[in-house]
A and B are shown apart, each in its own frame.
Chain A
Amino acid sequence: MKMPTIVSEFRAGLANGQLLIQNCTDCEQPNMWPRYACPHCQSENLGWRVSGGKGSLHSFCVLRQGAPEGFEEDLPYAIGVVKLDEGVQLAVRLVPDAPGDWESYSCDDRVEFLAVSAEQIEKRPVATFRRVGG
């Protein structure tokens, strides 16, 4: 099956260095993850806005063992949940302080989106964040 447009456009945004949030053309609410109909007003008129890329880190973990198939070479890696200032949430990868070390991170830290290369997004289509001032 062809990749749905909401997925390919979101990933194209990441590859272009932009974090896109789905935006309802009718009720103007932001949606994340992107949906096929607006969960607020059920409209199918959905577009995109570029996120300011700032938010707070709700929680995170550092996976050291037991990666899913295909992720073994990434270990260790940190996954977080970010609450964007726009009011929506997403799962992200976190930039380490040093290889294998995320010691400086705490819950509720201010974090920001970091653009990565199109090649990296091709391999891992996920947003990357880092601690503000980190």
Chain B
Amino acid sequence: MMAEEWTLHVSPGAANDPVFVGVGEIPTGKFPDRGFIQALTKVALLALKDAGMVPRDIDTIMLIPNLHGAADQADLVFSRMVEELGIHGTCKSSYMIHSGGSTSDNAVRAAHGLIATGHAQNILVLQCERWGSADLNEMITMLSKNGIPGEWELPSGIQFNAIGAMITRRYMHASGSSAADMASVCVTLRNWANLNENAMYYTKPLTVEQVLASRMVADPLHSYECPPMADGACAFVMTNTANAKKRGITNAVRVAGSGGCVSHYCLSQERDQAVLGWPLAAERAWNQSGWGPQDADIAEIYDSYAAVTTIAIEGIGIAAKGEGARWFAAGNGNPGGKLPTNTNGGLLSAGHTGVGGGTALLVEGIRQLLHRAPDKRQVENCQKAIIGGSGGSYMDAQILLLERTKLGA
């Protein structure tokens, strides 16, 4: 299918051009004593401080859902954070966006539209997940219902690792990638996590040999190739360019374009598990932005399994068709590599925080473009980033193209 032209109706420097101006994050891992609302409050304040704002400046709160519990979800939906931040009485609206792992990409689209059209001025996007502290069996059972039709596929006993394993096997078959090639993706991510104090595996190095020696969980996936479920929280702030300038902000991050494709609901209906929706999503993103894959300084691509990322970078055109895993094995995504990829360690090494995994990658991309990552992992002169997300049973491929922008005085 040929992608159509979709014009972005805002341009760099325009008064209504939406920009990212701050991010907040707390460590990802197992923190059973760190409360849900406590964590949300913390990242909200960190992001606001980073943006040079106070809670009262926020008119719209946009919530990223959690997957660990319905009671906490209800707190999010019914505006608890508005009251916790003390902006009840002035906050215009507070609500949730949800498309699983691609939520952050869709939240950006929603916030971008609200700001550009004037429905919102200063938006705070909040995410918190407590997967690391949740009951593992309960989470496995819960996850066997996400992107899996209860009447048609659940009776097969399918769950999330089985979905990741099938995609991995098809990808390895189509590309001729070896088990060591696939494991090298996990090692690249770990190399980045070793530079990120907020990552679950900050202090633990990893080798290909260790990955291949770990127990087989869902052939062909070893346990070290399955995402570690984690607690985590992050946040970001968006505003319009005129307001950012008024606040004295000189450098920010804007959206150059986006592309997406929902290729299926359940995995059995995907025509090619080694391709998914990435080629069409990428074509749409290039059409809207005028960019190509060669323009990016970093990539932050959803990585709940190695194959999810290798398939994405092939569809995006970062690696040649069939070469995604070998691209990682050659070190291209590493610190100091050709295209630094998933510079926070990704879901596989920073930790899988449910819907938050994609949000953390987005926040890392914004942080890198704002030049606010710690020195040891800040990519020099980082100007352009490709953000990629996917939800459910890899139902969609979502691409955001973000760029650093100078706002002037």
Q: Using CB atoms and an 8 Å cutoff, list the residues of chain A in contact with chain B.
A: 3-4, 7, 33, 58-69, 71, 74, 77, 79-81, 89-93, 102, 106-108, 124-126
Docked complex: B103-160 residues within 8 A CB-CB of A: 137, 140-141, 144, 149, 151-159
Interface size on B (CB < 8 Å)? Answer: 38
Contact indicator B268/A62 (Cβ below 8 Å):
no
Complex-state Cα separation, A69 to B144, whole angstroms = 9
Q: Which of chain A's residues have a CB closer than 8 A to the CB of B144?
A: 68
Q: A104 → chain B, closest Cβ, in Å?
A: 13
Complex-state Cα separation, A71 to B169, whole angstroms = 22
Q: Which of chain B's residues have a CB closer than 8 A to the CB of A59?
A: 166-167, 169-170, 173, 273
User: Does any Cβ of A come within 8 Å of B294's Cβ?
Assistant: no
Q: B349 → chain A, closest Cβ, in Å?
A: 20
Q: Which of chain B's residues have a CB closer than 8 A to the CB of A65?
A: 215, 217-218
Given contacts A33-B269, A69-B137, A79-B156, contact A62 B219 (CB under 8 A): yes
Q: B228 → chain A, closest Cβ, in Å?
A: 13
Q: Which of chain B's residues have a CB closer than 8 A to the CB of A61?
A: 161-162, 165-166, 168-169, 218-221
Q: How many interface contacts (CB-CB < 8 Å) are there between A and B?
A: 106
Contact indicator A106/B173 (Cβ below 8 Å):
yes
Complex-state Cα separation, A81 to B165, whole angstroms = 12
Instruction: Please tell me which one of the listed residues A7, A60, A64, A90 contacts residue B217 in the complex, with CB atoms under 8 A apart.
Output: A64
Instruction: Please tell me which one of the listed residues A58, A102, A124 contacts residue B155 in the complex, with CB atoms under 8 A apart.
Output: A124
Instruction: Please tell me which one of the listed residues B155, B216, B270 contacts residue A125 in the complex, with CB atoms under 8 A apart.
Output: B155
Instruction: Please tell me which one of the listed residues B166, B173, B217, B221 contacts residue A81 in the complex, with CB atoms under 8 A apart.
Output: B166
Complex-state Cα separation, A29 to B288, whole angstroms = 36
Q: A22 → chain B, closest Cβ, in Å?
A: 11
Q: Which of chain B's residues have a CB closer than 8 A to the CB of A91?
A: 152-153, 156, 158, 266-268
Q: Which of chain B's residues have a CB closer than 8 A to the CB of A108?
A: 173
Contact indicator A7/B151 (Cβ below 8 Å):
yes
Q: Which of chain B's residues have a CB closer than 8 A to the CB of A93?
A: 156-157
Complex-state Cα separation, A100 to B170, whole angstroms = 21
Q: Which of chain A's residues have a CB closer than 8 A to the CB of B217?
A: 63-66
Complex-state Cα separation, A92 to B218, whole angstroms = 16
9 contacts between A and B (CB under 8 A): A33-B266, A59-B173, A60-B166, A63-B165, A64-B217, A67-B140, A91-B266, A92-B156, A106-B173
Q: B150 → chain A, closest Cβ, in Å?
A: 10
Q: Which of chain A's residues have a CB closer than 8 A to the CB of B156?
A: 79, 91-93, 124, 126
Given contacts A59-B166, A89-B269, A91-B267, contact A64 B173 (CB under 8 A): no
Contact indicator B149/A68 (Cβ below 8 Å):
no
Q: B175 → chain A, closest Cβ, in Å?
A: 11
Contact indicator B273/A81 (Cβ below 8 Å):
yes
Instruction: Please tell me which one of the listed residues A7, A68, A90 contacts residue B268 in the complex, with CB atoms under 8 A apart.
Output: A90
Most chain A CB inside 10 Å of its own CB: which residue of B154, B157, B161: B157
Complex-state Cα separation, A20 to B173, whole angstroms = 29
Contact indicator A63/B273 (Cβ below 8 Å):
no
Q: Which of chain A's residues have a CB closer than 8 A to the CB of B218?
A: 61-66
**CB-based nearest B residue for A74:** B157
Contact indicator A63/B166 (Cβ below 8 Å):
no
**CB-based nearest A residue for B139:** A66
Known A33-B269, A79-B158; 4 more pairs at CB < 8 Å: A59-B170, A59-B273, A66-B140, A124-B157
